[in-house]
Amino acid sequence: MLIEGYTALYIFMLAAFTGYEVIAKVPVILHTPLMSGSNFVHGIVLVGAMVALGHAEGVAEQVVGFIAVILAAGNAAGGYVVTERMLEMFKPSKKEEGGEA
């Protein structure tokens, strides 16, 4: 059990270091679109939550699994919405035809 904890801690530290190094090399203007895209990739959390809910046996486990599914779905949907808004910001603006300048 202790070895599994150290392994999990090692993987967490490695992921944090890798994430920091990847983000540090991205230009600042792309941070928000990158974060919204990675937020959408977190949809895998939704799959994990559904699997955990499927294996839940007690009422408490089912409640926690249900809450996890709701939060993960909200996270994935939020990533989609933020990505859409960011992509709208990169489109050229339309000028009004025949309007006053």
Residue 51 pLDDT level (bands cut at 50, 70, 90) = very high
CB atoms within 10 A of CB 30: 12
Mean pLDDT of 64-69: 93
As a whole-number percent, the residues of the chain with pLDDT over 70 amount to: 88
Residue 101 has pLDDT above 60, yes or no: no
Task: Kindly compute the dihedral angle of the four CA atoms of residues 55, 59, 64, 70, in this order, to the nearest 10 degrees.
Answer: 90
